[in-house]
Chain A
Amino acid sequence: MRIGIECGGTFTDVVVVDDVGRIVATNKVFSTPEDPSLAVLEGLGGLPDELVDGAELLHGSTVATNALLERKGGPIGLITTKGFRDLVFLQRQDRTRMYDLGYTKPEPLVARRHIVEVDERVSAEGEVLRSLDEVGVARAVATLAEAGVSAIAVCLLHAYANPEHERRVAAAIEAAGLELPVSLSHEVVREFREYERTTTTVVDAFIRPRVGAYLENLRSHVAERSIRSMAVMQSNGGIVPPEAAISRPVTMLLSGPAAGVSGAVTIAAAAGVDRIVTMDMGGTSTDVSFVEGEEPELATGTVVDGLPLRVPLVDIHTVGAGGGSIVHIDAGGLLSVGPESAGADPGPACYGRGGTRPTITDANLLVGAMPAGARLAGRFELDRDAARAAFEPLAAALGRSVEQVAADALQLADVTMAGAIREVSLERGHELDGAALIAYGGAGALHAASVAEELGIDRVLVPPHAGLTSAYGLLTASFKRDFSATWFQPDLAAVSAAELANACREIEAAARAEIAATGVAADGLVASWLADIRYRGQGFELAVPFVPGDEASQLLAGFHAAHHRQFGHSSEQRAAQLVTVRLRLTGEKPPVAAVQTAANDTPAGTTSILVDGERRDAPVLHRGGMSAPVQGPAVVADDTSTTLVPAGWLAEIDEHGNLLLERSAA
């Protein structure tokens, strides 16, 4: 057996598959953010022993993200090049809000008093301009030891080009007898741009004690339940043994959404769809990604809590409202949705957990898209009266009925979400024409068809167990590790195939050695390569696939084509530069079988649903029991999610157990 357990912000989801990849059990419990492992154990506790004994556990957790966001942890130290102590405060000198004189910059995770400079300097080419002042290093280490730091980050200028000085600083820390986690910038992210590399290294050091303690603790607890082995999800959509996550925890950030995309891609591939927009709508926001083919696009960095991180991650964009987004009237008297959210606690008014403000979920209940008697996570009955009470003040202020206001709010949320998806698709150079929308997350399937309609998309796929897609995604993920090294070539055209192949060989040997050190057999892993290339003078790069042995002309052709696709123009006359080489090592994909949904014999009911301002009776179907296509308006429910089939859409179950919605010709 293989068990996927995903700790999200609100729920911890459990999916169990057997050895040929069939889903055999699911479970859903409330998350326990203060110690996520409690929910993991509770989720496991709900499973029969025969499923757990000897099983493999695949785990996705917000523990790294929470450690960063909550900023709890002992002080950490940073050792940097003389003259550059303040990089983490200077940042990029820009701001994210335009008209706020009380602007405060994102606060670094390290205090200025714990940043010490050492005299040394390396050039962009890796040449040592000033040798490392070893006496100064010893003094710096002593200063940090005395300050009682719980981890040390080391980031020296141009260390990606020559890591020798960083290695010697690490040796000095060891020689001083300090048993502290040490993060070296050239190991965490061997790329240029000092602020981003420093911040990533500092974050890695900051979350290491907590992530390490969490994973060690969890591993010993699940071993007590006879779990055979454990693996952890990363932000790149791949899984690794806990050792790898403990030594490089920054790669665990934002892994939950990545798992969801991994699951969605697997489901889409099985259904024969090769161009998808994923829409993961949760309690507070909606995550969107665009996938062509079987591999989600990789981004090389993101921003968490204002701090830029250079880590390989599935390219996911947060575009808007979630089920918990609050509906309100703005200062000019217009109905608005979000950005404030009722979150998981207290949650929407209808959850009956103390929330009194109207949310999108309450609106769905009021218009009948979620049928009366609908249950949260299949268990807790939703309180329609509470939803109505929450909307009444808005209805009174606007002079419309509660149902009308709820419908207005839903339309506004859909239009806004569609607009945001269109903006991101334009920005990333993805075509929406002919794509299918894959909807999951607690609220995704309620909004999918109407958002698709706004986008001109005619096909929507709702996977089985759409409320558990991230947990399912854990079970479809392969082992994946990403490595990068800035290898600056000012004129790519002048680089020979042999030089490039040699550079790749060195990078790959080091990567395989690092993987072997975490106890994974590195032999069977497959290498794939990307080169970050730019036109001379550009401040950003595009990643172009290649294989070692390729001539520069092949890389250049790929770059011009990628540039044209993404930005609408390219120029073969302009000189191009190679900046960074990226290596991914991937293991075998686990077996995945078509999902069998349990037949549900509960009689289908009806719901009174608001269509264009009028109440209509619409059938409520149990997804397992659907044998024939159904014309909207209709509602299809299963244990973890509810799908709205709007008027003008046709729904049926495909051979893989997906609910397929298509716009009717009429």
Chain B
Amino acid sequence: MTQQHQLGLFKSAFESLTREMAVNLRRAAFSSIVREARDFSVALADRRGAIVAQAECIPIMTAGVAIALQHALAELDVDALTEDDAILYNDPYKGGQHLQDIYLFNPIFLDGSLVGFAATTAHHVDVGGAYAGLSADATEIYQEGLRLPVSTFSLSRDWGERGFVRRIIEANVRVPDLVIGDLEAQLAANRIAQQRFAEIAARYGLEPTLAAMDELQDYAERRFRSAIRAIPDGEYRAADFVDGSPWGAGDIPVEVVLTVAGDEIVVDLGGSGPQVVGNVNCPFASTVSAVQSAIRCMISDTDIPFNEGCNRPITVLTEYGSILNPAPPAAVRARLTPASRVFNVVVSAMGQAVPEAAVATGFDTTTAFAISHLAATGDYQVVVEILGGGWGGCQGHDGADALDNPISNCANAPIESLETDYSHFAITEYSLVESSGGDGEHRGGLGIRRVYEALADGVQIAGYADRHRSGAPGLAGGEPGAVGRFRLTRADGRVEPITAVFSGTLDRGDRIEVLTGGGGGIGDPGSRSARARESDTTDGYAKEHQR
């Protein structure tokens, strides 16, 4: 039993340990998606695989680590693990997310006994599959890349220059230097966790350290349960849908029945649509991550450390074979699209339970756009752009303009940097989309317009998005935000319509406009203050009201 007054020291030490893991992973990573977009997560788990501490990374990566580790340990003989073992896997049907997110777990041993696990996951730039860059066309997992099942491997035997695991990966990805480099960065992060853990145990004693690992989970659980207790009991329902589905799947419903009872929440997503042909299926771990992120946004206690204790009061129910818990061999690459709707319906249901925290729905969509070119020199130039949109209106102020999806957090690439690095396109406009925020007492945030002009013939483009047919709903009388769109204008002025999931080719002088939608407004537009209206007009945020 840890002395209660020492628990704060352990909390600080473990949190520092995971932040050091994050620093080390980022610092050693090769690819810019890890370095710049921080598309990774790190955690310290106890010997049963329960998360004790986790550094704050992007939301969709956070809760998933616990599920992945639990799945892995359920399939392994934990007693047979040695210090030389590591676990590398990404299986979307066994606790993984999409194939790009590869998990690496290392057991932590002290004096010969297993005391915990160091866990990392990172988004890798390429894991093989049918296309470089971005593909919207996959219909099954086999087209999306290398699938790594749960298994242990020997670091000394399989990870050396000629090791089997390293060689298999090198042989199956397009950029082996980057992928192996980023996996080495994950390993370096896990190593620092092993080292710091040993130091903490030496400083405070192993028994109190192990006890503190348990107690910190109870502590987080206590805080989480107490935050849930503040929410009125009841059954809250919300529905939304995915309209950006490939292969003519139509609108796919995402529905929740969220039941708050005492200090527990059951999130039943069973009413959501069946899995579809195409890459917009959401693995179960991604669904749970989206649920956890949404609840975390809506509870009053804002700095509860993330660990296993936070999972205990929450149950997530899905139908196996549905879009939110697909069966193999469903394709899953664009899982952020349905995951975003899960996030939206849970936020919406929680908003009914806690009206004072309710916000209107944001555009909350990952609009991905790839523009690539094979130059005459044989060099492939691949650029993947991620655009966010307007956030929903809030009680007290307008929604934020032009932010990435709330379950992710990708920065944009500077125009001057893109135009320095690449010669196959220029950006001719990057702006807010005026009047795209849903009107209301507090309007939704504005979407983004980014226009690309091809500077060469044969420039390949592809993209996926959502909310191209109906905008983010408003709340309490607020109006919906504007929809997004892709629009292609040929050099001669012809305009070609394109769908939310597309691929195509540009020639010199052709332009494509990538436009993202706004957030929904909140409250009766008639109650919008005169001062806000004056700014809408004079600053040009909303020139014409639809009313």
Q: Interface 1/0s, chain A 413-425, versus B by CB < 8 A?
A: 0011001101100
A158 CB → nearest B CB, Å:
6
Q: Which of A86, A400, A415, A422 contacts B432 (CB 8 A)?
A: A86
A107 CB → nearest B CB, Å:
11
Residues of chain A lying within 8 A (CB to CB) of residue B412: 90, 92-93
Q: List 9 A-B contacts (CB under 8 A).
A: A83-B451, A94-B410, A98-B293, A100-B302, A101-B406, A103-B391, A103-B403, A419-B16, A568-B27
- Given contacts A86-B431, A124-B419, whether A415 and B13 have CB atoms under 8 Å apart is yes
A666 CB → nearest B CB, Å:
18
Q: Which residue of B lies closest to A488 (CB)?
A: B420
Q: Which residue of B lies closest to A83 (CB)?
A: B429
A586 interface contact, C-beta 8 A = no
**Alpha-carbon separation in the docked complex, A111 to B537 (Å):** 13
**Contact segment of A187-195, A214-222, A494-502, A619-627:** A187-195
Chain B residues in contact with chain A, CB under 8 A? 4-5, 7-9, 11-13, 15-16, 19-20, 23-24, 27-28, 30, 32, 35-36, 56, 58-59, 177, 181, 184, 188, 192, 219-220, 222-223, 226-227, 293, 296-298, 301-304, 347, 359, 362, 387-388, 391-392, 394, 396-397, 400-404, 406, 409-417, 419-421, 426, 428-432, 448, 451, 538-541
Residues of chain B lying within 8 A (CB to CB) of residue A415: 9, 12-13
A539 interface contact, C-beta 8 A = yes
Q: Which of B23, B417, B430 contacts A86 (CB 8 A)?
A: B430
Q: Which residue of B lies closest to A339 (CB)?
A: B303
Q: Which of A124, A422, A429 contacts B20 (CB 8 A)?
A: A422
> Is A426 a contact of B359 with CB atoms below 8 Å?
no
Q: Which of B12, B297, B429 contacts A99 (CB 8 A)?
A: B297
Q: 8 Å CB contacts to B: which residues of A79-96?
A: 83-87, 89-95
Residues of chain A lying within 8 A (CB to CB) of residue B406: 101
> Is A193 a contact of B417 with CB atoms below 8 Å?
yes
> Is A426 a contact of B23 with CB atoms below 8 Å?
yes
- Given contacts A101-B347, A192-B417, A194-B415, whether A568 and B12 have CB atoms under 8 Å apart is no
Residues of chain A lying within 8 A (CB to CB) of residue B429: 83-84
> Is A102 a contact of B359 with CB atoms below 8 Å?
yes
> Is B223 a contact of A331 with CB atoms below 8 Å?
yes
Among the interface residues A105, A400, A488, which one has the most CB atoms of the partner chain B within 10 A? A105
**Alpha-carbon separation in the docked complex, A86 to B447 (Å):** 12
Instruction: List 14 other contacts, CB 8 Å, given A99-B302, A103-B400, A422-B20.
Output: A84-B430, A89-B401, A90-B401, A99-B59, A105-B400, A111-B539, A112-B539, A194-B416, A331-B301, A331-B304, A333-B219, A335-B8, A405-B5, A412-B8
The 4 closest A-B pairs by CB, nearest first: A419-B16, A83-B429, A112-B539, A332-B223
Q: Which of B20, B30, B415, B431 contacts A426 (CB 8 A)?
A: B20
Residues of chain A lying within 8 A (CB to CB) of residue B414: 192-196
Residues of chain A lying within 8 A (CB to CB) of residue B428: 83
- Given contacts A100-B297, A113-B540, A422-B20, whether A334 and B13 have CB atoms under 8 Å apart is no
The dominant DSSP class at the A interface is loop
> Is A94 a contact of B409 with CB atoms below 8 Å?
yes
Q: Which residue of A lies closest to B300 (CB)?
A: A331
**Alpha-carbon separation in the docked complex, A80 to B286 (Å):** 42
> Is B181 a contact of A416 with CB atoms below 8 Å?
no
> Is A539 a contact of B36 with CB atoms below 8 Å?
yes
- Given contacts A85-B431, A423-B19, whether A412 and B9 have CB atoms under 8 Å apart is yes
A600 CB → nearest B CB, Å:
37
Residues of chain A lying within 8 A (CB to CB) of residue B8: 334-336, 408, 412
> Is B430 a contact of A87 with CB atoms below 8 Å?
yes
> Is B432 a contact of A90 with CB atoms below 8 Å?
yes
**Alpha-carbon separation in the docked complex, A361 to B412 (Å):** 43
Q: Which residue of B lies closest to A571 (CB)?
A: B177
A588 CB → nearest B CB, Å:
38
- Given contacts A83-B429, A192-B416, A540-B35, whether A102 and B394 have CB atoms under 8 Å apart is yes
Q: Interface 1/0s, chain A 421-459, versus B by CB < 8 A?
A: 011001101000000000000000000000000000000
A157 interface contact, C-beta 8 A = yes
> Is A89 a contact of B402 with CB atoms below 8 Å?
yes
Q: Which of B15, B227, B303, B430 contacts A90 (CB 8 A)?
A: B430
> Is A426 a contact of B27 with CB atoms below 8 Å?
yes
Q: Which of A105, A123, A405 contacts B419 (CB 8 A)?
A: A123
Residues of chain A lying within 8 A (CB to CB) of residue B392: 101
Residues of chain B lying within 8 A (CB to CB) of residue A196: 414
- Given contacts A84-B430, A331-B226, A566-B27, whether A93 and B220 have CB atoms under 8 Å apart is no
Residues of chain A lying within 8 A (CB to CB) of residue B448: 90, 93
**Alpha-carbon separation in the docked complex, A193 to B419 (Å):** 10
Q: Which of A95, A537, A569 contacts B404 (CB 8 A)?
A: A95
**Alpha-carbon separation in the docked complex, A267 to B320 (Å):** 68
Among the interface residues A98, A104, A415, A427, which one has the most CB atoms of the partner chain B within 10 A? A98
- Given contacts A90-B430, A94-B404, A105-B401, whether A411 and B23 have CB atoms under 8 Å apart is no
**Alpha-carbon separation in the docked complex, A339 to B296 (Å):** 21
Q: 8 Å CB contacts to B: which residues of A232-257?
A: none
> Is B293 a contact of A569 with CB atoms below 8 Å?
no
Residues of chain A lying within 8 A (CB to CB) of residue B16: 416, 419-420, 422-423
**Alpha-carbon separation in the docked complex, A259 to B87 (Å):** 50
A143 interface contact, C-beta 8 A = no
Q: Which of A91, A104, A113, A336 contacts B402 (CB 8 A)?
A: A91
> Is B388 a contact of A101 with CB atoms below 8 Å?
no
Residues of chain B lying within 8 A (CB to CB) of residue A89: 401-402, 432
A131 interface contact, C-beta 8 A = no
Q: Interface 1/0s, chain A 183-220, versus B by CB < 8 A?
A: 00000000011111000000000000000000000000
> Is A334 a contact of B219 with CB atoms below 8 Å?
yes
Residues of chain A lying within 8 A (CB to CB) of residue B223: 331-332
Q: 8 Å CB contacts to B: which residues of A166-198?
A: 192-196
Residues of chain A lying within 8 A (CB to CB) of residue B184: 569
Residues of chain A lying within 8 A (CB to CB) of residue B4: 333, 398
Q: 8 Å CB contacts to B: which residues of A464-492?
A: 488
B5 CB → nearest A CB, Å:
5
Q: Interface 1/0s, chain A 327-345, versus B by CB < 8 A?
A: 0001111111000000000
> Is A158 a contact of B293 with CB atoms below 8 Å?
no
> Is B24 a contact of A104 with CB atoms below 8 Å?
no
Among the interface residues B227, B359, B539, which one has the most CB atoms of the partner chain A within 10 A? B539
B60 CB → nearest A CB, Å:
10
**Alpha-carbon separation in the docked complex, A92 to B414 (Å):** 8
> Is B359 a contact of A93 with CB atoms below 8 Å?
no
Residues of chain A lying within 8 A (CB to CB) of residue B541: 112
Residues of chain B lying within 8 A (CB to CB) of residue A112: 539-541
**Alpha-carbon separation in the docked complex, A427 to B55 (Å):** 15
**Alpha-carbon separation in the docked complex, A124 to B419 (Å):** 6
> Is B32 a contact of A537 with CB atoms below 8 Å?
yes
- Given contacts A101-B394, A416-B12, whether A569 and B59 have CB atoms under 8 Å apart is no
> Is A95 a contact of B430 with CB atoms below 8 Å?
no
> Is B293 a contact of A95 with CB atoms below 8 Å?
no
> Is A98 a contact of B56 with CB atoms below 8 Å?
yes
A71 CB → nearest B CB, Å:
17
A37 CB → nearest B CB, Å:
36
**Alpha-carbon separation in the docked complex, A157 to B16 (Å):** 41
> Is A113 a contact of B24 with CB atoms below 8 Å?
no
Residues of chain B lying within 8 A (CB to CB) of residue A95: 400, 403-404, 409
Q: Which residue of A lies closest to B538 (CB)?
A: A113
Among the interface residues A87, A102, A193, which one has the most CB atoms of the partner chain B within 10 A? A102
- Given contacts A123-B419, A404-B5, A427-B27, whether A539 and B539 have CB atoms under 8 Å apart is no
- Given contacts A112-B540, A426-B23, whether A124 and B416 have CB atoms under 8 Å apart is yes
A567 interface contact, C-beta 8 A = yes
A408 CB → nearest B CB, Å:
5
A338 CB → nearest B CB, Å:
11
Residues of chain B lying within 8 A (CB to CB) of residue A422: 16, 20
Among the interface residues B16, B58, B387, which one has the most CB atoms of the partner chain A within 10 A? B16
Residues of chain A lying within 8 A (CB to CB) of residue B404: 93-95
Q: Which residue of B lies closest to A400 (CB)?
A: B5
